[in-house]
Amino acid sequence: MTTLQLTFLGAAGEVTGSSYLIETGNVRFLVDCGMFQGGREADKKNRTAFTFDPKTIDFVLLTHAHIDHSGLLPRLSAWGFRGPVYCTSATADLLQVMLKDSAFIQEKEIEWRNKSRQRVRSAPDLAPLYTVTQAEALLKQLLPVSYDTDIMPHPSIRCCFRDAGHILGSAIIELWIKKQSGYKKIVFSGDLGKPGHPVVRDPTLIQQADILLIESTYGNRLHRSMADTIDELVFAVNDTLNRKRGNIIIPAFTVGRTQDLLFLLVDLHRKGKLGDMEIYVDSPMAHAATEITLQHMALLDKEASEALRWMNSNGHKPRIHFVQDIEESMMLNQIKHGIIVISASGMCDAGRIKHHLKYNLSRRECSILITGFQAEGTLGRRLVDGAKHVKIFGQEIPVKASIYTIGGLSAHADQADLIHWLSNFKQMPEKIYVVHGEYNNSVALVNVIQKTLKWQASIPEQRSVATFTE
């Protein structure tokens, strides 16, 4: 008798912390090893995320580079994991930047917390989740693979990475687990992109699975059309820069969203919908991610390639400045009008974006463009929900700037896109798990799957175990 166990370690009833443990008796491995983000419990969840001994994990399959899918890999390695991490080549390149940056943030935050604790009472120092040195050690365990190529990380396991169309290098993972007769196939959707989304190619369509895990970040809603999204973006930019004479501040994920925005702004300038602009990308990591994107031109869609060629032959306009050092970043806050600042973090909870919000949120002539998902408990979510005041660095800041939610730029499939992707399966999988979504969003997707496709699906609980025997 063959037994397969699937444990939902994260992203069950919530968006972040994606990680799934698969055990067969012959092999034990993870699909994703993500960090929990947002809310007061995130740090506790990250410190207690491993319900297993990392030394016993044979390998990891990684869908993509975003920290909510990859961010605990250095901690896994630091606690004894010595196997390979299989991921696409572009993901491996991005992780060289992202995980070291994440580790640097961990170290700095703990340093600040320890200083605060020492002022209040004598207490032992806290340790970071992991250090830069530990992140660098993990990076040596990355094993890049190509799209659409079968690999066998174990004699009883075959898998293939398909383009998920979410960010550069993102993958759907098809996984075949050998049983007494034949294979059982599990498909992990990872984060699915939106067809027609800028820069990356459309998600690969999958036709068969025995067990399917599908994301539901936007399982309860439809995105604004790309045409309407572009109209709103054009209005916000022109109105803020030309009529109100203010600044535009855009919180953006350094990987994916920043490159999408740069492409769109260049393309809209090329088409005459936007004038010349002074665009500042205030994130060293976003600069590195953009350079990596340009190194993987074969993965970009036709429109992005054309826009890049046009920019290179037209005097590199609009003007894009990549800000590196802190002093230059601080100087941006002395500029009162006429600039677009794209900065991290995408949910406004850390990094340089908080400084730009502090200096521009209270100014009516300025605009904040929210272009990505904002998890519960984050500063970005409070802005989207209409907060009149927010606290930044301990200071109450009145929200007087215009807040635009440019939803159509999401790198995630919406409800209709998810149903379209599912409808390409030739038959209903034996088991469908709806993951990676706030609970109500997952419920909405379960309901529409049942109503539209007449299929059954369920939402797993955190740390629940599904057992399959044959």
pLDDT of residue 403: 96
Query: What mean pLDDT is predicted for residues 120-136?
Result: 85
pLDDT of residue 315: 64
Q: Per residue in 416-463, pLDDT tens?
A: 999 999 999 999 999 999 999 999 999 999 999 999 999 999 999 999
Q: Per residue in 306-339, pLDDT tens?
A: 877 887 777 667 899 999 899 999 999 999 999 9
* pLDDT of 304 over the 90 cut: no
- Looking at per-residue pLDDT, the higher value among 126 and 164 belongs to 164
pLDDT of residue 369: 96
pLDDT of residue 450: 98
pLDDT of residue 122: 61
Residues in the chain: 470
Q: Per residue in 198-237, pLDDT tens?
A: 889 999 999 999 999 999 999 999 998 888 999 999 999 9
The residues with which 1 forms a beta bridge, in sequence order, are none
Q: 35 with 75: CB under 8 angstroms? A: no
pLDDT of residue 123: 67
Measured CA to CA in angstroms, residue 70 lies from 46, 123, 263, 344 at distances of 12, 31, 26, 18
What phi, psi does 210 have (nearest 5°)? -85, -40
Edge to edge, the sheet with strand 85-88 lists: 142-145, 85-88, 59-61, 28-33, 19-23, 3-10, 465-469
CATH architecture of 226-409: 3-Layer(aba) Sandwich (3.40)
- Looking at per-residue pLDDT, the higher value among 376 and 35 belongs to 35
Query: What mean pLDDT is predicted for residues 235-260?
Result: 93
Alpha helices in 313-438, H assignment, sequence order? 326-332, 353-360, 379-384, 415-422
Residue type, 7: T
- Looking at per-residue pLDDT, the higher value among 389 and 108 belongs to 389
Query: What mean pLDDT is predicted for residues 137-166?
Result: 97
What element of type H or E holds 279? strand 278-282
Which fold would CATH assign to domain 3-221+412-469?
Answer: Metallo-beta-lactamase; Chain A (3.60.15)
State what percent of residues in the chain have pLDDT above 70.
98
- Would you list the domain boundaries of the chain? 3-221+412-469, 226-409
